[in-house]
Amino acid sequence: MTPADPGIRGIGMTSLRTRERLVQRLMDQGIRSDEVLGQIRNVPRHLFVDEALSSRAYEDTALPIGLGQTISQPYVVARMTEAMLEHLSGARRVLEIGTGCGYQTAVLAPLVKEIHTVERIPALLRRARRQLSELEIYNVRFRQGDGWLGWPKYGPYDGILVAAAAPRVPVPLLEQLTEQGCLIIPVGPSGRQELALVTRNGNELHQRSLGAVSFVPLVHGK
């Protein structure tokens, strides 16, 4: 696929005009990064959801993608990506936990050097791999496995982004950060989740909240 393809350009409720309305909504909510806003505008979110939901793809809401999972709300994707970029420098090697349908991966991929993404559900991983390949996104490595454990083989990582909520910050992920790395992860039980930004400075860790969120749980050990 190329940007000239109708499937990527979209029509009607998936058209550029509809995407521009979403971008303006995100700007109104405080997203400032031109890089991130450009990706929200250009990545065809309607290709990452079922065709029956494509007319809702550019609403600022999470949508089901099957198997008990969701595609994240565009504002949350933009907020996580913007926060990640603010703390990345140098090689920009990123670990993503929870590939899902691949939308967050597609937004982030052109903005970093490489992404290593882990997904627990094989069917979702296959779907995401196929969709990202069709969009000619090639700087992504895929792995099916337990995201709680990360992917030590390619670490340490400048940034780790987790798209599922954990009851606490997983120690294995902290251990896979570079000395100046950052981890963005939803933490807490359903209904009381906070998006945590954990930054590392040598042996010191600092954590602050980026606001309330709602994610599916990060399943450990399956």
* Residue 205 to residue 5: CA distance in whole angstroms: 46
- Residues tagged active-site: 72
On whether the CB atoms of residues 172 and 148 are closer than 8 A, the answer is: yes
Query: Could you tell me how far CA 54 lies from the centroid of its own chain?
Result: 19
pLDDT at 11 over 60: no
Q: How far is CA 169 from the centre of its chain?
A: 17
In the prediction, which pLDDT does 16 show? 86
- When the pLDDT of each residue in the chain is averaged and rounded to a whole number, the result is 92
This prediction's pTM: 0.92
Structural domains of the chain, ranges and CATH numbers in brackets = 64-213 (3.40.50.150)
Q: Per-residue pLDDT for 196 more than 90?
A: yes
pLDDT of residue 113: 95
Q: Confidence band (pLDDT; 50, 70, 90) for 9?
A: low
Is it the case that residue 5 has pLDDT exceeding 80? Answer: no
DSSP reduced 3-state for 171: helix
The token pair that represents 35 in the structure block: 């890089």
State how far the Cα of 88 lies from the Cα of 94, in Å rounded to an integer. 9
Reported as type and span, the H/E element at residue 33 is none
Evaluate if residue 202 carries a pLDDT over 50. yes
- Report how far residue 128's alpha carbon sits from residue 123's, in angstroms, rounded to the nearest whole number: 9
**Distance between CA atoms of 104 and 100, rounded to whole angstroms?**
8
The token duo for 41 is: 């505008």
Under the phi-then-psi rule, with left for phi > 0, alpha for psi from -120 to 50, and beta for the rest, what region is 90? left
CA-based end-to-end distance of the chain: 35
Q: Structure tokens of 204?
A: 């010191």
Per-residue pLDDT tens over the stretch 158-188: 999 999 999 999 999 999 999 999 999 999 9
d(CA 38, CA 180): 27
The 10s digit of each residue's pLDDT in 65-120 is 999 899 999 999 999 999 999 998 766 999 999 999 999 999 999 999 999 999 99
Residue type, 85: L
pLDDT band at residue 14 using 50, 70 and 90 as cut-offs: confident
Buried b (16+ CB within 10 A) or exposed e, 115-132: bbbbbbbeebbebbbebb
pLDDT score of 4: 45
Least confident of 1-10, 77-86, 145-154, 188-197: 1-10
How far from 221 is each of 49, 152, 162, 166, CA to CA, in Å?
A: 27, 16, 16, 13
pLDDT of residue 3: 46
Q: Which tokens is 72 given? A: 């994240």
Residue range 15-34, pLDDT digits in tens:
889 999 999 999 999 999 99
